[in-house]
C-alpha cells in the first residue's frame, strides 16, 4: 500500500508499459489527489473528501514548463513517444483543460512532431461537449472502463456525484472509434465485498459494450503496483491473453500488459 503522488507538473520521461518513452503532464495539485473516482486499486491512494476547487496549476505555467523540458530534450537528442496527460487524478477536471490541450499540441508540433498526445481519463466528463471536443484532439484518447456492470463498476471505481454507466457508454459510442478503452482486470475483496471483473458474466457484458462502442483498440492489464486498498490480486498473463483473444474475435485490436 505504498502509494505515491507526482510532485511536479512535468515529470519524466519515464518508460511506460503501454506508451513507450512518456513525458507526463500532471494537471492536478502536487500535494494531493483530485479525482471524481476513488478506485480501490489506484496507485495514488484514496481520493480525499475535501472540495478540490483550488491548487490546479496555471495554464501558462504548464506551457512554460513543458516548453522548457521539450527544448531541453530536443537539445540532448532524446527520444519521445508520448506526451501524456496523467498524474494525481483526473486531468479533465482542470478548468483550463481545453486551453492546455491546444498549448500542448503547439509545443509538440514544434519540438517532437512524431510524438503522440495521450490522455488517460476515467471518462466521467465525456458527456460535456467541451471536454468531448478537446479529447478528440488527442492522438491517443484512452478511456477507462473497468466493468460494464454498474454494481461492479461502483465497487471498483467508487464514482463521486451523479454517475450513469449507460450515459458513459452512450458518450463513448459518439467518439465513432476515436478512443482506446483501457481495463484493469483483477480480483480480491474489501469490506466483505468480493470483487472479480474476470468472471464469465463480467467479460460477456464488457465484450457487449465493446461491440457497441467499437473503439480503435483496447488495452488490458492487471495490478503491477501497490494499491489504495489491501486484498487485491493481479491476474495471470494467461488469463489476460484469454480475454484478449475474445476481444480480437470482435475485430478489435488488443494490447495486453501483464
CATH number of the domain to which 211 belongs: 3.20.20.70
Q: With respect to residue 3, please indicate whether it lies within any of the assigned structural domains.
A: no
Please tell me the distance from the alpha carbon of residue 9 to that of residue 98, in angstroms, as a whole number.
17
Where does residue 50 rank: exposed (0-12), middle (13-18), buried (19+ CB within 10 A)? exposed
Give me the helix-helix angle, 97-111 and 59-75, nearest 10°.
Answer: 20
Q: How many domains does the chain have?
A: 1
Question: Which cell is 121 given?
Answer: 481519463
pLDDT of residue 4: 63
Q: With respect to residue 153, please indicate whether it lies within any of the assigned structural domains.
A: yes
Please tell me the distance from the alpha carbon of residue 149 to that of residue 253, in angstroms, as a whole number.
23
Q: Are 236 and 52 in contact (CB under 8 A)?
A: no
- Show pLDDT as tens, one digit a residue, over the chain (258 residues): 445 667 799 999 998 878 999 999 999 988 788 999 999 999 887 877 665 556 899 999 999 999 999 999 999 999 999 999 998 899 999 999 999 999 999 999 999 999 999 999 999 999 999 999 999 999 999 999 999 999 999 999 999 888 999 999 999 999 999 999 999 999 999 888 999 999 999 999 999 999 999 999 999 999 988 888 888 999 999 999 999 999 999 999 999 987
Please tell me the distance from the alpha carbon of residue 97 to that of residue 111, in angstroms, as a whole number.
21
pLDDT of residue 2: 45
Q: With respect to residue 28, please indicate whether it lies within any of the assigned structural domains.
A: yes
Q: With respect to residue 76, please indicate whether it lies within any of the assigned structural domains.
A: yes
Cβ-based neighbours of 206, under 8 Å, separated by 6 or more = 145, 147, 148, 183, 197
Please tell me the distance from the alpha carbon of residue 203 to that of residue 200, in angstroms, as a whole number.
5
pLDDT of residue 38: 93
Reported in sequence order, the residue ranges of the chain that DSSP labels E, i.e. its strands, are 10-16, 20-26, 82-86, 116-121, 140-144, 180-184, 186-190, 193-196, 217-221, 232-234, 253-257
Q: With respect to residue 1, please indicate whether it lies within any of the assigned structural domains.
A: no
pLDDT of residue 1: 45
Q: Are 25 and 83 in contact (CB under 8 A)?
A: yes
Residue 143: give the domain boundaries: 10-257
The DSSP line for 25-68 is EE-S-TTS-B-S---TT-TT-PPPSS---S-PPPHHHHHHHHHH
pLDDT of residue 18: 80
Q: With respect to residue 5, please indicate whether it lies within any of the assigned structural domains.
A: no
- Threshold 0.85, pTM exceeds: yes
Q: How many residues does the chain have?
A: 258
pLDDT of residue 257: 87
Residue 130: how many other CB atoms lie within 10 Å: 11
Can you say whether residue 246 is alpha, beta or left, with left for phi > 0 and alpha for psi between -120 and 50 degrees? alpha
Amino acid at each position: 500500500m505504498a502509494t505515491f503522488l507526482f510532485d511536479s507538473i512535468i515529470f519524466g520521461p519515464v518508460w511506460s508499459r503501454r506508451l513507450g518513452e512518456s513525458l507526463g503532464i500532471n494537471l492536478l495539485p502536487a500535494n494531493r489527489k483530485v479525482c471524481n473516482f476513488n478506485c480501490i486499486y489506484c496507485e495514488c491512494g484514496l481520493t480525499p473528501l475535501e472540495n478540490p476547487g483550488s491548487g490546479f496549476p496555471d495554464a501558462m505555467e504548464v506551457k512554460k514548463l513543458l516548453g522548457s523540458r521539450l527544448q531541453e530534450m530536443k537539445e540532448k537528442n532524446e527520444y519521445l513517444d508520448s506526451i501524456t496527460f496523467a498524474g494525481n487524478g483526473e486531468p479533465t477536471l482542470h478548468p483550463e483543460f481545453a486551453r492546455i490541450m491546444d498549448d500542448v499540441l503547439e509545443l509538440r508540433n514544434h519540438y517532437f512532431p512524431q510524438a503522440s498526445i495521450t490522455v488517460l481519463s476515467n471518462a466521467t466528463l465525456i458527456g460535456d461537449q467541451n471536454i468531448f471536443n478537446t479529447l478528440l484532439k488527442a492522438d491517443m484518447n484512452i478511456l477507462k472502463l473497468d466493468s460494464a456492470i454498474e454494481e461492479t463498476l461502483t465497487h471498483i471505481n467508487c464514482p463521486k456525484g451523479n454517475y450513469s454507466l449507460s450515459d458513459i457508454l452512450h458518450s463513448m459510442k459518439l467518439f465513432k472509434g476515436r478512443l482506446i478503452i483501457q481495463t484493469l482486470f483483477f480480483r480480491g475483496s474489501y469490506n466483505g465485498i468480493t470483487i472479480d471483473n474476470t468472471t464469465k458474466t463480467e467479460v460477456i457484458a464488457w465484450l457487449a459494450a465493446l461491440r457497441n462502442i467499437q473503439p480503435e483498440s483496447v488495452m488490458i492489464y492487471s495490478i503491477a503496483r501497490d494499491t489504495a486498498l489491501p486484498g487485491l490480486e493481479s491476474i495471470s498473463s494467461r488469463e489476460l491473453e484469454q480475454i484478449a483473444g475474445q476481444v480480437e474475435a470482435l475485430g478489435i485490436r488488443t494490447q495486453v500488459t501483464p
